[in-house]
Amino acid sequence: MDNKLRITEIFYSLQGESNTVGIPTVFIRLTGCPLRCSYCDTAYAFSGGEKQTIASIIEQVDQYKAKYITVTGGEPLAQPACHELLKQLLDKGYIVSLETSGAIDVSKVDTRTVKVMDLKTPASAEMDKNIYQNIDYLAKKDQVKFVIADNKDYEWSKSIMQQYDLSNRCEVLFSPVMGDMNPRHLAESIINDNLPVRFQIQLHKYLWDDAQGK
């Protein structure tokens, strides 16, 4: 098995999303993604990067002495060696989350990993790439994220939640697309509809005006 991965960046920051928002976290951003979502904020990770061994990646992570690790992209599962990286990080006792689009099979992801799966909404222009069978591999600790750009996205997300009984399977996150969906409007819609979801905004973009999603 190839023990090298193409890495865009490794950095230490506060988690900006998910149910660990605000917690200091090391981010490992893998290069490459088969999707081209309309609202993507990490297009700089589509190409380039540097090939690194898993041992080198973990050595860099260890220097931060953090407890939480997020493996992200791009789409990290587009590189098969991502599975081995997750396993080795988990074996060292890290709490590891994987940010994945849900457009690649997650059945072989180490079950100790916290999967944060982004089901693509209509406005993403990549909705047809969703692999709904991936939902079968979600556990209570995992999360499904809907990135919502408009009311059509909101209604679609509600229907998918209901169809797959997502709120009883794992945690559900609703996140507004900055500049497209007014956060207050989305929050009030969630309250008015009494949805069993977690509203989230991308904390890093408010703290550091970070358009690239760090």
The CATH number covering residue 15 comes to 3.20.20.70
Single-letter amino acid, residue 10:
I
Q: Please check the confidence at residue 211 and state whether its pLDDT lies above 90.
A: no
- Specify if 214 maps to a domain: no
Instruction: Give the closest residue to 27 by CA, choosing from 108, 105, 103, 116.
Output: 116
Q: Quote the crossing angle between the two packed helices 82-91 and 54-62, to the nearest 10°.
A: 40
Global pTM value: 0.93
Domain for residue 25, yes or no?
A: yes
- Rg, the chain, Cα only: 16
Cis peptide, bond prior to residue 16, ω within 30 of zero? no
Q: Is residue 213 part of a domain?
A: no
Domains of the chain: total: 1
The two counts, helices (H) then strands (E), for the chain are: 5, 9
pLDDT band at 59 (very low <50, low <70, confident <90, very high): very high
Domain containing residue 91? 4-208
pLDDT digits (tens, 9 = 90+) for 73-123: 999 999 999 999 999 999 999 999 999 998 999 999 999 999 999 999 999
Residue 213 has pLDDT above 50, yes or no: no
Mean pLDDT of 22-30: 95
Q: b/e for 91-128, b at 16 or more Cβ within 10 A?
A: eeebbbbbbbbbbbebeebbeebbbbbbbbbbbbebee
pLDDT greater than 60 at residue 214:
no
- The residue among 22 and 126 whose pLDDT is bigger is 126
